[in-house]
Amino acid sequence: MPRTREELEQVERTVLAPYAQFSAESRGRACREEPPEWRTHYQRDRDRVIHSRAFRRLEYKTQVFLNGTGDHLRTRLTHSMEVAAISRNIARALRLNEDLAETIALAHDLGHSPFGHRGETGLNRLMKRHGGFEHNQQSLRIVEHLEQKYPRFPGLNLSWEVREGLAKHVTAYDHPAGRGGFDSRSASLEAQVANLADEITYSSHDLDDGLDSGLLSEADLRKRVGLWRYAARRIEREYGSPPEESRRYFIIRCIIDLQVKDVVQSTEQRIRRAGVKSADDVRRLSRPLVQHSPERRRQNLELRRYLYQNLYYNPEVHEPNMRAVRMLEALFHYYLAHPRELGSLSRKRIRQDGIHRAVCDYLSGMTDRYAMLEHQRLFGGAKSRRRPA
């Protein structure tokens, strides 16, 4: 006989810690639905995220380098999958709900604009007098309103706990603009795990892409970044002098392992000291429990500063991104003046949300590739004036 949802919920009761977020204790969905038969609520949510159009578009959105720059460089899609994998590992070690942590991780960048954080900053500036733009809040807007897949409700109708995790997603790189109606002081431990997994993934894998692009060098990293130096020496002790690609892979793997181990050990101590007995006990705390140790935070800050100075603001990364942002600004003003050029769903939202928000939704949903093609069509002398579907 197939394993039922009730049996899966009982397994959670057996293996998860009392302060984990149990599927059976979900606060539910905005629109009531019959519960899934062979999946938990969070497993259903994960599947809905993966099958959404917004998730598929992440394949062609910038992580650090403009999409199409290199076949092996990361995109928002590969980044989200890597965050999900690390989230599951941390959640499993802490006896938390892996499905919830994974779902939040997979959905956390659904609202990201094209052209990375530069695109987000540009859209926020354009929307300054109209509510602003922030990609975490846009992720929430997508799953609550903009996805149109179901006949009985807008959005994906995800569970309250997943939407809470999106509303409260915050890292050293991301600073949400508001709570989105979720008023608890802290998010669930599973949401906190997704936050830290996002940071771990950002720093370690941006190192990999920076080296792959030739903008960073191992010699400079070894001289200026303590975490890299420690991992490199450890790899030398264990493996000698492996080939360059293998050596780099093992160093970055070592860095990730160090980060994950530190999070698990540090968080376990904080949970024990806090004495929490339930997921709602966690939400009442003023500070997150899922954190690095002070020494690891210091090392991560050193690494983050290095990446900003030598990768994110490197002219070969920064200048193409800024040119792309100017494309986005030109498209924004064009669509304001020519709303009939918007996609059909965005045109329908003008009356409800206003022209500026409708244009912002349309632009933020674009991939890098589509935004550049649209700019070429409208401003590059293209003869075609076909309206987007």
Q: What is the 3-state secondary structure (H, E, C) of 309-372?
A: HHHHCCHHHHHHHHHHHHHHHHHHHHHHHCHHHCCHHHHHCHHHHCHHHHHHHHHHCCCHHHHH
Any bridge partners for residue 155, and if so which?
148
On the question of pLDDT at 179 being above 60, the answer is no
Any bridge partners for residue 357, and if so which?
none
3-state secondary structure of 229: helix
pLDDT for the residue numbered 20: 98
pLDDT for the residue numbered 9: 96
What is the arithmetic mean of pLDDT over 327-346? Answer: 94
What is the arithmetic mean of pLDDT over 57-75? Answer: 72
The rounded mean pLDDT for the chain is 90
On the question of pLDDT at 199 being above 90, the answer is yes
Superfamily (CATH H level) for 5-317: Hypothetical protein af1432 (1.10.3210.10)
Cα 139 to Cα 112: distance, rounded to the nearest angstrom: 7
The residue among 286, 263, 283 whose CA lies nearest residue 25 is 283
- The helix-helix angle for 189-213 and 160-167 (nearest 10°) equals 50
The model's pTM is 0.92
pLDDT for the residue numbered 302: 96
Please state which of the ranges 125-139, 158-172, 185-199, 287-301 shows the lowest mean pLDDT.
Answer: 158-172
DSSP summary character for residue 60: G
On the question of pLDDT at 12 being above 80, the answer is yes
Do residues 114 and 175 make contact, with C-beta atoms less than 8 angstroms apart? no
Q: CB neighbours of 40 closer than 8 A, spacing ≥ 6?
A: 5, 8, 9, 12, 23, 99
CB burial class (10 A; 0-12, 13-18, 19+) of residue 249?
Answer: middle
On the question of pLDDT at 384 being above 90, the answer is no
The residue among 123, 172, 128, 170 whose CA lies nearest residue 329 is 123
What is the arithmetic mean of pLDDT over 25-54? Answer: 96
Cα 295 to Cα 277: distance, rounded to the nearest angstrom: 28
The residue among 328, 349, 354, 341 whose CA lies nearest residue 124 is 328
- For 37, 175, 287, the CA distances from 179, given in Å and listed in that order, are 32, 11, 15
What is the arithmetic mean of pLDDT over 157-166? Answer: 96
pLDDT for the residue numbered 171: 56
Structure tokens at 172: 């050293």
3-state secondary structure of 62: strand
Banded pLDDT at 116 (limits 50, 70, 90): confident
pLDDT for the residue numbered 316: 86
| 321-331 per-position pLDDT tens digit | 889 899 999 99
Cα 108 to Cα 102: distance, rounded to the nearest angstrom: 10
Do residues 102 and 165 make contact, with C-beta atoms less than 8 angstroms apart? no
Any bridge partners for residue 148, and if so which?
155
Rg from Cα positions in the chain: 22
pLDDT for the residue numbered 177: 46
Residue 306's CB: how many other CB atoms inside 10 A?
Answer: 20
* Torsion 132-135-137-138 (CA) sign: positive
On the question of pLDDT at 170 being above 80, the answer is no
pLDDT for the residue numbered 180: 55
Question: DSSP readout, 114-136?
Answer: TTHHHHHHHHHHHTGGGT---HH
Banded pLDDT at 386 (limits 50, 70, 90): very low
DSSP summary character for residue 144: I
Per the rule left: phi > 0, alpha: psi between -120 and 50, beta: everything else, 354 is left
| 124-144 per-position pLDDT tens digit | 999 999 999 999 999 999 999
Structure tokens at 279: 């997921």
What is the arithmetic mean of pLDDT over 89-108? Answer: 98
Q: Which residue has the tokens 């109209």?
A: 130
Do residues 359 and 342 make contact, with C-beta atoms less than 8 angstroms apart? yes
Domain ranges of the chain: 5-317
What is the arithmetic mean of pLDDT over 228-244? Answer: 92
Please state which of the ranges 23-27, 172-176, 368-372 shows the lowest mean pLDDT.
Answer: 172-176
* Phi, psi (degrees; rounded to nearest 5) at 62: -65, 140
On the question of pLDDT at 192 being above 60, the answer is yes
- For 62, 105, 236, 253, 361, the CA distances from 120, given in Å and listed in that order, are 11, 19, 41, 30, 12
Q: Which residue has the tokens 């970044």?
A: 225
On the question of pLDDT at 389 being above 70, the answer is no
Structure tokens at 384: 């075609």
Residue 177's CB: how many other CB atoms inside 10 A?
Answer: 14
| 256-311 per-position pLDDT tens digit | 999 999 999 999 999 999 999 999 999 999 999 999 999 999 999 999 999 999 99
